[in-house]
Copies of this chain bind each other. A is one copy, B any other.
Amino acid sequence: MRAKISDIAKLAGVSTASVSRVLNHQGGYSRQTAERIMKIADDIGYFKDRSAADLASRHNNTIGVIYTDFETNFNDLIIRQIMTAAKQHQLDVILMIAQQNDPAGLTKIVRGMIERRVFAVQFISTHPSFQIINMLNRANIFPQVIGDATNHQVSSVSSDDTQIGYQATRYLIQKGRRRIGFAGPNVHQDYVPRLRFAGYRQALADSGLSFSPDWLYEENYSYQAGIRAAKYYQQQIRLVDAVIGISDEVSWGLLNGFYDAQVDVPNDVALISIDGTELCQQTRPKLTSVTQDFVTMGEKAIDQVINQRDQPHQITTTTVAFRIDPRETT
């Protein structure tokens, strides 16, 4: 059997209450008993049973973080920051990975988090359904979406995606490009692509450029989608003189796809990527990007979680600034 506080109490000749107090550094005991208890705990290899502790104290300062093992790779940046910030605030984090396109799986993961009585769950590049958000709300757990806006009622931390689309396009136009492609997921189905696409259309319109439907390549966020997009753009000579890749992965695919087809980037076609992770500096030529500030997102996300703690939950939308980093593909 594993050691428990009653074992320590017996050995130290004190009550379990005292043991609990010193083990939790709650004060109200003498230095001597404290030391004695600590030593015994150490000697017998005692470890608190968190189930028991959580149950008895009926609170729990852990948050749940769920991310999707996605084609994009900025998750790490956000998660790392969340872990760091959480540590500073003495929060425990439990992490889960959801599979893409597996709503049942996501529901199960969320159930697990509810059963573990976390007080908030953060979704990173994951699309929780309305039902899931509802489930969390009913369970009085704060739901939050990070790095990915949605159209339903949840707190979120993300960039202004319409502006991202707008500024990326504007940048290309200023560079003298006129036939600007847009490669990514379906722009009617998914929310973020829709926003970015709307910004793109607006920028085109504001510059008096008319949009041509064959500039749009719709698939998903992946490298392979980029490869195929490049192939697509090549079928028609001079179809586009620039392309916006919806993620670094797509842009990388575009870059390699064009390279394989011996299209000169940026002379024949300019490229701008959305995300701006390290990857952009690791391609040749290096990718110009709209760079999102994922570190700040992680930080703000924890701030939001802390602020609503022990309060009636409110829906808050935090927007984080982005910038454009010119590199070698424009």
Contacts and interface: CB of A to CB of B under 8 A. Distances in A.
A83 interface: yes
Interface of A: 2, 45, 47-55, 60, 69, 76, 79-80, 83, 92-97, 99, 111-112, 114-117, 138-140, 223, 252, 256, 259-260, 278, 282, 284
B69 A80 contact: yes
Contacts of A278: 223
Contacts of A97: 79-80, 83, 95
A260 B260 CA distance: 19
Nearest to A95: B95
Contacts of A47: 111, 114-115, 139
A139 B55 CA distance: 21
A52 B55 CA distance: 6
A284 B114 CA distance: 46
Contact of A52 (B51, B80, B83, B93): B51
Contact of A48 (B92, B115, B260): B115
Given A2-B139, A45-B138, 20 more contacts: A2-B140, A45-B139, A47-B115, A49-B115, A50-B116, A50-B117, A51-B54, A51-B60, A51-B116, A51-B117, A53-B115, A69-B76, A69-B80, A79-B97, A80-B97, A93-B96, A94-B95, A94-B96, A256-B284, A259-B284
6 contacts: A45-B139, A48-B115, A50-B112, A53-B115, A94-B94, A94-B96
A138 B55 CA distance: 25
